[in-house]
Amino acid sequence: MRTAFLVAPEGVEQVELTSPWQTLDDAGANPRLVSTSPGRIQAFNHLDKADTFPVDTTVAGTSAEDFDLLVLPGGVANPDFLRTDEEAVRFVRAFFDAGKPVAAICHAIWMLIEADVVRGRTLTSWPSLRTDVRNAGGTWVDERVRICSAGPNTLITSRKPDDLGAFGEAILTETRAGSVRS
C-alpha cells in the first residue's frame, strides 16, 4: 500500500507524523514523505524544534495516482502553510476526486477545508477548529476517531496526539477492510 504523508517544510507535529508512519510501516505499507520543497522537513514537539526528516518527493513531482492513501499530520503551522500552496491543495483534492481514502489529525483538517471536501461530512479535529468545520459545511463531533464514508471516499479524522493509537488502528482497519487497494 503506497501511502503519502503530506507535510510542509517546517511545522509538522513530530508525533503526528512518526506514530501513524510507524503503524503503517509495521503493517507493510510503503510510506513516503511528500512536501512542497525537496530536502528535509523540520518537525516540532509543540513549539520546540524536534527532528528533521528527508523528503521523498514533492507535490510537484508526484500525483495522487501514485498512492493508495493520504495521511495529513497536524501541528498548527504545518497545515496553515500547506493550505496556502495551490499544488498541495490540488494534491489533497485529487485523492477525493479519485475516491481514495484520506486520514487527517488535529489541525490538518484545515487542508480538507481549503480543498473544499468537508461539506456533508462528519469529522473530528482539534476542538478549536469546530467552527471552521461547521462553516465549511461539515458536522464536527468530539470523538477520538471518526470514520466518514459519506462522500466518494473514506475519511478518517482524529483530534489530537493523545488519540494517535485509535487513529492508527482506524487507518489499519479501513485499509484491511478493502478501502485501500494495493
Residues belonging to the active site: 106-107
- 59: its cell numbers: 507535490
Asked if 130 and 140 touch (Cβ cutoff 8 Å), the reply is: yes
**Those residues with Cβ within 8 angstroms of residue 22's Cβ, 6 or more apart along the chain or in another chain:** none
Asked if 55 and 41 touch (Cβ cutoff 8 Å), the reply is: yes
Asked if 106 and 130 touch (Cβ cutoff 8 Å), the reply is: no
Cβ atoms within 10 Å of 119's Cβ, excluding its own: 11
Asked if 110 and 99 touch (Cβ cutoff 8 Å), the reply is: no
